[in-house]
Amino acid sequence: MGCGAGKALPGAPRKGYVSVVQSLVAFGKAHHDGDRGPKKCGDAQRDPRFSTGVKNQQPPSKTPRDGRAPERVATYKDKFDPRVTARYDIKALIGRGSFSRVVRAEHRATRQPFAIKMMEVEAAEGREVCAAELAVLQRVSHANVIQLVEVLQVPQRVYMVLELATGGELLERVISRGHFTERDATQALRMALAGVGYLHNLGIAHRDLKPENLLYYHPGADSRLLVTDFGLATSVADAGVADGPWSLRTTCGTAEYVAPEVLLLGPCSCAVDMWALGVIAYIVLSGSMPFEDESRTRLYRSIIRGRYNFLREPWSSVSNLAKDFIQHLLVLDPAARLTAEQAIHHPWVVTMAASSSMRNLHRSISQNLRQRASRTSSRCPSSAASSGDAGSARLGRMMPLHLD
């Protein structure tokens, strides 16, 4: 499947991006090479298919300032097609994913900041991830889900223009606050549940929920929390089942967050996300993981058995209602697990942990997070993942399980 070509984008954006053209610009095949430098810019401007939004704008010069050959100074910026840079001023690299680079950019006409996720789609794997992500992003519009603004495409790459989240990841916020209570945890989880519930109502399972994929929109205390990274998402419609659970023919996600039914190759549904949210709730309240082991085999075994506890600190300071919330998410039987709708109405969330002590959990949480980070780094995560040890290892992108 092509990656977004010819697809319509979602309707009018909800957060005032009126001045940004909401269009998919599929750059012509005959003028596709974004790395070839200034010569292509002229081609781009002559390409009638490229008339949407960029006509008459001069792409920036690619001549290196230090006089070295262009190949030598190639940076992430050179991966941006001149037709993209004619429209957006690429400011800084924010991060890298398995198939992507994400940059902060500014729309040249409106000066509005955005994130641009550039995905390599020449290889089949990158194309699949990109297609999955776009298929979801083009359908969604919710305050707690990252908003796609426009898609620009050349044959080798897709550029997704997204709203820019500047408030950092969920756990970064927990650490940086200096003070963190159960009430704060319910606020974050309520927003995550609202976003996930919205997705589930559309029949979309995210399948890779983890704190790193929950980003704050801005650094302020009142910021929205956004569900991001839909590279592993799938929809009920895609699986060919109109209603109810479907069988995932693939495993995906990050080992510590994966639901038992995924490991057992059972029928999977949106409930896999609710398990992951149980894991996230456990981490947010304690800074430690419910399921963790250096051995991948032992890790999977403890997940399949649902073997976790509330023994370490700060659990003695955490309310029973918070533990009840987690216990109703980390349920082995997916049918018995809380749905997003039920979880958002759990008394701990509804009352914003009113019955808890409001104790500051920050010290224990950051201590546990620091300890975990040093354990993980000393184990060398890249080799751990390949040798079967679990640091915070991905199960693998769309790793086939040959279920039939």
Ligand X SMILES: Nc1ncnc2c1ncn2[C@@H]1O[C@H](COP(=O)(O)OP(=O)(O)OP(=O)(O)O)[C@@H](O)[C@H]1O
Binding site for ligand X (CB under 6 A): 94-100, 102, 115, 117, 146, 162, 164-165, 215, 228-229, 231
The CA distances from residue 271 to 133, 136, 315, in Å, are: 19, 18, 25
Write down the least CB distance from residue 232 to ligand X, Å: 8
For ligand X, which residue has the nearest CB? 97
- Is 117 annotated among the ligand-binding residues? yes
Give the Cα separation of 60 and 83 in Å (integer): 9
The CA distances from residue 184 to 170, 179, 181, 318, in Å, are: 11, 9, 5, 13
Strand-pair partners of 225:
216
The residue among 94 and 175 lying less far from ligand X, judged by its C-beta, is 94
What DSSP element (H or E) covers 189? Answer: helix 182-201
Query: CB-based contacts of 310: which residues, under 8 Å, 6+ apart?
Result: 318, 323
The CA distances from residue 96 to 100, 104, 125, 264, in Å, are: 6, 12, 16, 31
Query: CB-based contacts of 7: which residues, under 8 Å, 6+ apart?
Result: 24, 134, 138, 151
Write down the least CB distance from residue 114 to ligand X, Å: 8
Query: CB-based contacts of 119: which residues, under 8 Å, 6+ apart?
Result: 3, 99, 100, 126, 129, 130, 133, 157, 158, 159, 160
Write down the least CB distance from residue 210 to ligand X, Å: 9
Write down the least CB distance from residue 157 to ligand X, Å: 13
Write down the least CB distance from residue 336 to ligand X, Å: 30
8-state DSSP, 169: B
The residue among 98 and 351 lying less far from ligand X, judged by its C-beta, is 98
Amino acid found at 132: A
Write down the least CB distance from residue 49 to ligand X, Å: 27
Residue 117 phi, psi dihedral angles, 5° rounding: -100, 115
The residue among 4 and 59 lying less far from ligand X, judged by its C-beta, is 4
Amino acid found at 390: A
E strands of 123-273, at which residues? 148-153, 157-162, 204-205, 214-216, 225-227, 234-235, 246-247, 250-251, 267-268
Give the Cα separation of 44 and 287 in Å (integer): 50
Residues belonging to the active site: 208
Binding residues for ATP are 117
